[in-house]
Structure 1
Amino acid sequence: MRALLLLLTFVFATPAFAQGYPERPIRVIVPYPAGGSTDILARAIQQPLTEILGKPIVIENKPGAGGIIGTTEAARSAPDGYTIVFGNLGPNALNASLYKKLSYDPVRDFAPISVVAEMPLLLVTAPSSGISSVADVIARGKKDADALTYASVGLGSASHVTGELFKRQAGIEMRHVPYRGGAPATTDTLAGHVSIYFITPLEALGHMQAGALKPLGVSTLTRTSLFPDIPTISETLPGFDVVVWFGLLAPAGTPTEIVAKLNDAVVRAVATSQVQEALKKLGVEPKSSTSSTFAATIRADVEKWAKVVSLAKIKLD
């Protein structure tokens, strides 16, 4: 009986509690180091969210284990709207199939709030490679199974699994060359030591402008307004689609009224010219969504990448 009374008290108190929310600063866990792309994106919406919600948004970097440490802490936090996480495709979808004993469930343990940004990966090569199109990559791979190599920023990264998806959809072989981060992967691509690389726009832009990297295609299903002249990979390889997304999530069990209030704040923040300009400079598309749409995206990506990871036999534990 006591448990029932407590439950009823919580149920009926929740709308009133949500009405006064937030009453204190909101902590946003970024599960990566300060200065990285996820951190930069989180800080781009920090001030607009602070102004809209009327309470400070405090960013706390909790890096480690490919985003697992910070994401786990967020999943285990009180579901009261005062601790949320700035997640992305890696810890909130890919990790579900990369780790057998993941300390959280990307679907079960979170209440998605909204997407904040999306970006394609750019398939690039060195001008000296002799490759001038996606069709050239596929033709070379079909002609000689040992002719192609592709760089990644590490095992299980978005650049790695994207390469695996590409070779399977194209019906070719490519040798994976993992690096410890984007800088060495970019350096060896520039030097022609690897054939191709699925790179982030932020890493690629300066080299593309200098003519040191040749873009072959974008990974999204449709062309992006950020690079309207670069064809999609899907124009050659129908159906190929890889979107790297970033977004805010609350712990599972957070009252729906609080999630809705946070969603409204994110949608309004992303729509500001300040955020629009900041994100586009970073090579990402400003984006917002409903909570349910974001949840559906996560579920679909968990399922999609589980198949790729299984076929490629990628395991990180």
Structure 2
Amino acid sequence: MRAAAPGPGCPDPSGRPPATRRQATRRQATRKASMTLMISRRGLAGGAVAAAALLRPGAAPAQPAWPSRPVRFVIPYPPGGSTDVVGRLVGQALSEELGQPFVIENRGGATATIGSQLVAQSPPDGYMLLLSNIASHAIAVTLFRSLPYDPVKDFTHIAMLVTTPTILVVNPSFPAKNLADIVRMSKDAPGGLDMASSGSGSSNHLLLVRFAELTGAKLNHIPYRGGGPAMTDVIAGNVPMMSDTLPSALPHLRSGVVRPIAVSGPERSALVPDVPTFREQGIDLINLPWYGLSGPAGMDQAVVRRLSDATRKVLGSAALQARLAELGSMPGLMDPAEYTAYVAAEAQRWAPVVRASGASAE
């Protein structure tokens, strides 16, 4: 027969009274709950430690070294102009040096600000870079009332690349032989003379504006979306003349489809030694457009250093220097700090020139 369960007030087989037995049961339950909580806390703590370990430098899975894929290299002008020529040369050299393609992406328009804004708003991972220049990062600051980016704060400036003089060219059928002829003819012609440039507010445009201010020439500015389209119309005779950077104009000068009038450097170019400077023709005017390498703000400094070192190396190569010299360009060789300071200074320097000219892109 089964033993009857202990009744109320009767001790159990262990001899403990019911009240003592209930207390022991509660203590056992409390110990089990505490042990479960400790185990859970240990598990959470272990997970936190593991997570923290993943966040420690060197503990995370190794990331591919930059660059591990192609780099988009934005040139903020259409193909065919001087910016495009210089950008493609440097992009090819960096591609060979860094072992990944630098894919050229032409994004012209709005005085080089469309392509510049694209890069400013891109992730700062080093896979989208910009051929920054005097128009997009110095002139546009004053030219636009509401520029969609800050030329210093919204970019990581990596290296100055090159500077290059501007040259004034005319269609071969145009009768002017020098700057004095252009000034005289512009005053005699009803409505003045048309003169093209690579875009409103470009350094080529402001050269023409300054030329008119210094001489009293009556010029009608005809802006194009880049030096290439402007040169096409000058060659065709649709516009009699234009200012262009020497690298862009040089092939056309050599083929004879345009004729040179003046160069804007402080001295004559060895590539066109027979062409006098503006100063030699009595006009105190110097204009040296520049091009640099920039990315969005916040780029990793290790990537910036690698890019800066690679740029210095390729610009120091005899082969690239010779090629740039053939185009009339000179290496700039500025490091990130120097180039950042230079961009800021250029924006300040061009501000009164733009205001005095009355030029506006809006």
Q: TM-score range by the shorter chain?
A: 0.7 to 0.9
Q: After superposition, what is the alpha-carbon deviation per residue over 1:261-286, rounded to whole angstroms, capped at 9, x for unaligned?
A: 32121011122244234434544334
CA distance in 2 between counterparts of 1:32 and 1:129 reads 28
Which of the numbers 245, 257, 264 marks the counterpart of 1:219? 264
CA distance in 2 between counterparts of 1:148 and 1:136 reads 12
CA distance in 1 between counterparts of 2:292 and 2:324 reads 13
Contact 1:71 1:85 survives alignment (8 Å)? yes
Residue aligned with 1:124, SS: strand
Which of the numbers 111, 124, 131 marks the counterpart of 1:86? 131
Q: RMSD of the TM alignment (CA)?
A: 3.4
Larger radius of gyration: 2
Which TM-score applies when normalising by structure 2? 0.69
CA distance in 2 between counterparts of 1:302 and 1:139 reads 34
Partner of residue 178, structure 1: 222
Matched, 1:24 2:68: yes
The amino acid of 2:212's aligned partner reads K
CA distance in 2 between counterparts of 1:179 and 1:100 reads 19
State the 1:228 CA deviation. Answer: 3.2
CA distance in 2 between counterparts of 1:69 and 1:128 reads 36
Contact 2:253 2:259 survives alignment (8 Å)? yes
CA distance in 1 between counterparts of 2:104 and 2:232 reads 31
Alignment of 1:1-317 (within 5 A): 22=66, 24-25=68-69, 26-33=71-78, 37-53=82-98, 55-61=99-105, 63-66=107-110, 67-138=112-183, 147-168=192-213, 170-181=214-225, 182=227, 185-186=230-231, 189=234, 196-237=241-282, 239-317=284-362
Which TM-score applies when normalising by structure 1? 0.77
- TM-aligned CA distance change 1:178 to 1:97, over 3 Å: same
Q: Which moved more, 1:170-179 or 1:185-194?
A: 185-194
Show structure 1 runs of 5+ residues with no match. 1-11, 15-19
- TM-aligned CA distance change 1:262 to 1:35, over 3 Å: same
Contact 1:223 1:231 survives alignment (8 Å)? yes
Residue aligned with 2:132, SS: strand
CA distance in 1 between counterparts of 2:109 and 2:223 reads 16
Residue aligned with 1:308, SS: helix
- TM-aligned CA distance change 1:13 to 1:110, over 3 Å: farther
CA distance in 1 between counterparts of 2:280 and 2:231 reads 25
- Identity over aligned residues, as a percent? 31
Residue aligned with 2:260, SS: strand
